[in-house]
């Protein structure tokens, strides 16, 4: 067995040398792991070969370890790239969310959502609640989970999204812009209701909602109850049409609690706590 490993190591070493000299001459390396763009394997090959020789591992086990490391490395790279492309305002995972601070939240429900079945089932998730209760944090946390599950995600604030759609419409690029928000498997629209939306903006938002309806799940966050969305969108008819589509397949999570931003002030008794109620 040791002899087999020695001969394999010798062969790899020769291939690697050949690869190096070809690289030096500007030609493609002969080593298949290099040719196959198996970058992690190239980096780890020497150490894994030594390890396999010492352990007298079988070829199958060696290959298994080598490919497992390659896959793990490629997955990590994809996650990093997709996290960057998602344009999150911050990167905070669900693990860093303190559920004990927000007793109105059902931790189990969030854990279920983190398995991302809602994406597979084309369901929307809507977080409602006053400022500081963690709506954006939870939306980003679920977005990161979706990326880990291999989905493409895009984050935008309602104001940013409507400004971009309005600009695109005036420049004759609306279709292109709508596509940008339609293509990602999961779209997160944060802060609906913080800034007033005019009728034209509401119409553009409705077009986007219509495109994603029953095709692309969304996570929406708002500090306004659904009953106030008529005011948010400046038109009760458009607001009803938007809500009709959003809520057809949706999980609504109402957060009733204290702002996390006021955590220290609450502790010091400088502000009064709100009474938590379950959803």
Asked if 82 touches ligand ADP (CB under 6 A), the answer is no
Q: Which residue, chain included where needed, has tokens 């502790």?
A: 267
The CA distances from residue 245 to 56, 108, 213, in Å, are 61, 26, 6
Binding to ligand ADP in span 260-279, by CB under 6 A: 260-261
Alpha-carbon torsion (228, 233, 235, 237), positive or negative:
negative
Strand partners, 127: 221, 253
Interacting residues of 8 by C-beta distance below 8 A, sequence separation 6+: 49, 59
Rounded to whole angstroms, the Cα distance separating 82 from 47 reads 30
122 interacts with, out of Mg ion, ligand ADP, none, CB within 5 to 8 A per kind: none
Nearer to ligand ADP by C-beta: 57 or 142? 142
Partner from Mg ion, ligand ADP, none binding residue 92, C-beta < 5-8 Å depending on class: ligand ADP
Nearer to Mg ion, 66 or 188 (CB): 188
Site for ligand ADP, residues 211 to 240, rule: CB under 6 A: none
- What is the DSSP-derived secondary structure letter of residue 183? S
Shorter beta-carbon distance to Mg ion: residue 178 or 188: 188
Q: How far is the CB of 135 from Mg ion (least distance, A)?
A: 5
Q: Which of residues 86-115 bind ligand ADP (CB under 6 A)?
A: 92, 97-98, 101-102
Q: Which of residues 18-57 bind ligand ADP (CB under 6 A)?
A: none
- Minimum CB distance to Mg ion, residue 56 (Å): 56
**What x-and-dash track marks residues 114-143 binding ligand ADP by CB under 6 A?**
---------------x-xxxxxxx------
Kindly state the smallest distance separating residue 228's Cβ from ligand ADP, in Å. Answer: 16
9 to 47, 52, 57, 140, 203: CA distances (angstroms): 11, 10, 13, 46, 66
Cα–Cα distance, 220 to 127 (Å, whole number): 6
Residue 54 CB, shortest distance to Mg ion, in Å, is 53
How far apart (Å, rounded) are the C-alpha atoms in residues 88 and 131? 18
CB of 248 to ligand ADP, least distance (A): 24
Min separation Cβ 101 and ligand ADP, Å:
4
**Residue 256 binds to ligand ADP (criterion: CB under 6 A):** no
As a whole number of angstroms, the distance between CA 112 and CA 72 comes to 24
| Residues binding ligand ADP (CB under 6 A) | 92, 97-98, 101-102, 129, 131-137, 260-261
């Amino acid at each position: 067995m040791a002899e087999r490993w020695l001969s394999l190591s010798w062969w790899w070493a020769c291939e690697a040398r050949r690869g190096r000299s070809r690289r030096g001459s500007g030609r493609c390396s002969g080593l298949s792991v290099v040719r196959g763009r198996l970058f992690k394997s190239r980096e780890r090959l020497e150490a894994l070969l030594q390890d396999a020789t010492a352990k007298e591992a079988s070829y199958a086990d060696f290959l298994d370890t080598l490919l497992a490391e390659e896959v793990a490395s490629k997955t990590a790279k994809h996650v990093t790239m997709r996290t960057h492309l998602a344009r999150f305002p911050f990167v905070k995972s669900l693990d860093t969310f303190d559920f004990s601070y927000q007793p109105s939240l059902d931790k189990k429900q969030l854990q279920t959502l983190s398995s991302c079945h809602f994406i597979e089932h084309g369901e929307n998730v809507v977080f409602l609640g006053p400022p500081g209760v963690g709506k954006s944090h939870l939306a980003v946390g679920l977005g990161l989970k979706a990326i880990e599950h291999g989905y493409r995600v895009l984050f935008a604030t309602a104001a940013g999204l409507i400004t971009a759609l309005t600009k695109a419409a005036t420049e004759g690029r609306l279709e292109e812009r709508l596509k940008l928000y339609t293509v990602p498997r999961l779209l997160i629209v944060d802060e609906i209701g913080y800034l007033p939306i005019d009728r034209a903006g509401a119409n553009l938002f409705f077009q986007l909602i219509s495109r994603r309806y029953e095709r692309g799940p969304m996570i929406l966050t708002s500090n306004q109850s659904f009953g106030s969305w008529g005011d948010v969108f400046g038109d009760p008819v458009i607001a009803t049409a938007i809500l009709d589509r959003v809520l057809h397949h949706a999980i609504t999570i109402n957060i009733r609690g204290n702002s996390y931003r006021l955590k220290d002030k609450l502790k010091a008794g400088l502000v009064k706590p709100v009474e938590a109620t379950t959803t």
